[in-house]
Structure 1
């Protein structure tokens, strides 16, 4: 009986011991596994092992240890195993084991051989985090990694294409919350699919030591899948535990957007200058065709569906669609909108008279008082419209419009700049055509008789000069005074009566081209910008274009064109010099300078005749013709000329 009780107690103790051991195995944080000695296959794994390696129990029992060890560690692992088979002294070694997801982790492994069972027991500890921390703290010390971590630029360190280190800026750039999501994972996850093959090839070459520092623009991919332009700079580095790559990454989104905006701005400026240059050189008979061509040019450039010009009648009571371009597949509207009473559109006409432009993003947003405008937008399937008034001499003469039919549209700042500039160019061209009509009518009258022609011509010339006086009160009388002084200089130089008369006409019309320069620039009280000054300088060419088709008996158009040329070739527009400049232009030039200096201007007070005479005397033979200067100086010194 005593023996039975003793045996029973022993069995219970054995059972308790087994349960206790199993409890230890199931709850320890150490990775414990038993392997078959012959092939190192798994015979037992505890829960900690399954959790660390990411396998289900059945999956891991179907594998062997040597298959999970990193290829670079296998030889060392087999040597370590062989030592334990012949040596009872146990010590641990560090090896990399592959998890189910393909990522390798570091384990500190201790082996105990059990010969009687032909088994090997491995007790391992997950040291992956410690290994990473240790790697981060490698020479040149903590400061190096602290600097990398706090650097404002995204930095990553990888080996064999897998992340070893990423800093906070890297996480922010790619939209990750923790480096645990990235460490050990492939760096290709941060590369857009279209660039992955290229980067994979580069990694392969780099692993063979065949690639120098790498600098390239590619496309990155954030955690949410969004693609963005990325600048990658990669350099080889040597860590204590082996070679690695360090990458500096820069988001180019802002730079690309700025570059695109700059290109758009330059393109806008270029198209404006191109259109302006074309219209300055354009003959009158080509104006209508060029307006249509320009509507097509800016319509395609700005991706509009329809662009058009409406002009008011002479009395301003009706409006007509005079020019139009439509994208392929968009129905034209010009034939339907002719001689429409402006009274039908009070809302739109009031806006055109009071603001710089009208933008209607969608027809349904129009107020109730714009019901007719809404009807016409819907009738032509217009989703968005942008309208720029055409103004001349503070008078509305029509408008330039742009329709978006296929979708709603927002016009950019550069687009608005183009449209407003083109509206101004069109207005000047249309007005030029109208002026030419008046001029031709005047010429027809003048042709009825020479005397009557010259009388009416001079009245007409005077009227054209008066147009500028009305347009710019700040320079009122300038052309008349220049003409009077130029005529007096010509008489002083003993020129013929006919030539003197031609010089007087040239003086009266010498600044007629400023009619093409915006009034706000001509009367600007502050200094002019370079662009504004370049615009003003176009008035000589513009004046020539206006007058060249009038059949004057004198070289008036050429004198207008050349009156800002200078003797030393520094003038404009053609930089003529010396004898290449007409005598008429030389005389008008001196008269123009003297009158301008002695008169008040918006940006300065009058400087007086002494300053004017000093200017032409000091630059005689340099900027101004010597004979013309001497004649002018005699007139004033001998008091034989006065402006009145």
Structure 2
């Protein structure tokens, strides 16, 4: 037994020894991979922390057992390139952690770490592959040895920040704020490098080494409008720590109108308007993936450096509106925090789901509550049903009667008894046919005892005294056990029918008056509109005559404007007033103004008792005028006349109070006023034209006396020009202007010596130049006179030619007034067909042929065609 136990114990120890040996052999055969992660910035930087997480996550996903040693240049002070002792300190720290030759790969973050490796690789990182992350300096990338390293590079976040600040805040100075730590100085250097590369460098103020307590001291040195950009602000000059949020708060409270940006991504959550998100995690993860490929055996030269331009601007939505920044102005891929839309997108589905669930639960609860309430109400209704239905039956607004198939009245409510003046005793003793004798109305027996479905109908139902009632009647059957009963609902509609009739009449009345208003608004025919208005009003009033009278401005005496008389004839107020104008004028004015109101009134002519107006009374009675309805026509308190209706109906007198008729009266008043104004204007225009015409003809005679050789020329040109303007269908003012301009178109020759004008031979060049001045002299003579036509300009341009060869200005085409172009053709034609001291006249055909030859160059083609028609008409005459 002991031997057996000893054998088992020996076997156990031998097996244990073999396992330990194999484990040691395996450990000895597997080499530990060592990776140095060299950061430019300190471990407190969020960017550094995120990049480290990204690198570690890449290694963790591959389950790599590599040991990652981390060193920070900022902590070692090696960011200051002008301090070699700090660089040596960093090298010694790395040697202390990793003896030479023990590194398998180096990962750098930032430009400074990559630059440090390139300069100090001898004796420290010789032949060690390098993977760079966030390399933004193109010069470093261009000299990086491709056989040794590769990695991830991107554009500078500082460059993005400056570019967008300058775009969003153009022309505003920039203040750079950073501490004097290596990281702060590095940020300032980056800012100035990028500012120097700009074509137009903005005004920049650098504030270094500030603390929150010192911010007010430097505020006065800043512009009222400035953009504040924070770099690294972690330490004061004495080395005390600073919170970035405190610095942002100090600037915001002192000058809230200044936008604040930070290089640090977390600045936007600490009160800044915007910052830059470098997406350090993604860049670090990608650098870690490249590092694992190299550790797996790929050479750095076979892996091309990757551009990860994932920098993005981050903005605080709450501050964007303070500085007038809208979403449309943000750069692409911008991140907006505190955005209500993001909350809606993020929590909207969840809120909708909760709302849906709550609505279902609420609906279910409401359904249960309603069901319980309905059950309780049913129980209560069962107890009170008898009283309830009795109250409803008796107080129904409709008459209700219940009767048997034999015609016995079972019950009738209060309303039914009131409609047909019945007492309770009568209902109990009499039958349906005696209470409602339907044979005297529009109903029959089968209407009271229907079979099948029924519908309400309008009917005339007489009571026991045969007084008819217009009502809505609805009968239907009621089953009560074996006995069949009937019920009828009776609703009094007599008032409604009367109201419908009145509304129909009123609608027709308003429609007709609206047509009168429309006629005045849309038609230019004054007489036709007045005739239509009076005839429409006469028909509406059912009157025998409708007369409109107005007061002319000249004498203020009433005159009949228009009158509408019925087809069967009737009294004529217009003839009555015309036959005795004096008495009627005084009567009507006294009658209207004694009323003291603008409203209409009615009177009976037979009631006139004033002895001064007995003849007027007798005339009314003789003509058969029993009553008159008078509507004074006032506009802005000015009396223009009146509308009188002879023998109108009583129904008209009610409708005439309608406000729509007030508008028609206003339109009639305005029409009379316009007619009066037009007559005044016509008289004034006629008088003015006579004065202007006399002056123009006088000037025409004076100028023709001056030049006997061309006597009658101006009148002839005026006549021809007027005829041409009519052929061209010119407006009346242009035809008038051409007519009178033709009469004085040579009035400027009054300033030309008579000897030159009557010279029998051709004029010399100086003489011709003097004669060419007569359009200017004519304009000078006519300009001071305020003619209603532009005579001065027409006379001034009548020797211009459409090709610019005319005088005095050489105008072309539309630059010459149409009146002057017409006058020039008429002037040339008359001159050619008239004798002159130096030549004989041409025939009409020869003159027309010459003008046709010059058509389109010197003369307007359309006017020359009009002259052809003029000559043709003249020959035909």
Q: Which has the larger radius of gyration?
A: 2
Q: Identify whether the pair has TM-score above 0.5, normalized to the shorter chain.
A: no
What TM-score, normalized to structure 2? 0.31
Q: TM-score by structure 1 length?
A: 0.42
